[in-house]
Amino acid sequence: EVQLVQSGAEVKKPGESLKISCKGSGYRFTTSWIGWARQMPGKGLEWMGIIYPGDSDTRYSPSFQGQVTISADKSISTAYLQWTSLQASDTAIYYCARRKPVPGGADYYMDLWGKGTTVTVS
Partner 1 sequence: QSALTQPASVSESPGQSITISCAGTSSDVGDYNYVSWYQHHPGNAPKLMIYDVSKRPSGVSTRFSGSKSGNTASLTISGLQAEDEADYYCCSYAGSSTWVFGGGTKLTVL
For residue 76, the minimal CB distance to partner 1 (Å) is: 21
* Per-residue contact flags (x/-) with partner 1 for residues 77 to 116, judged by CB under 8 A: ------------------x-x--x------xxxxx-xxxx
71 to 54, 102, 109, 111: CA distances (angstroms): 11, 22, 20, 20
Q: Tell me the one-letter amino acid at 38.
A: R
CA geometry: angle 5, 16, 49, nearest 5 deg: 45
Size of the site for partner 1 (CB under 8 A): 26
The reply on whether position 55 binds partner 1 by CB under 8 A is no
For residue 86, the minimal CB distance to partner 1 (Å) is: 23
* Per-residue contact flags (x/-) with partner 1 for residues 7 to 36, judged by CB under 8 A: --------------------------x-x-
Q: How far apart are the first and last CA of the chain?
A: 36
